Amino acid sequence: MDYIHTVQYYETDKMGITHHSNYIRWMEEARVDFLSQIGWF
């Protein structure tokens, strides 16, 4: 089961680098997606 997140412009700094503070939100998105895929939700 794969989860693919496309980084949005607002999640980056002026150099286009993703800030590490986004990882927590992405992990939560992936967790909810996983639970949905296995029928938990």
The DSSP code for 1 is: -
Cα-based distances in Å from 31 to 5, 10, 14, 40: 12, 22, 29, 11
Determine the 3-state secondary structure of 16 from DSSP: coil
Which one of the listed residues 13, 15, 21, 24 is annotated catalytic?
13
Q: Is 13 a catalytic residue?
A: yes
Catalytic site positions: 13
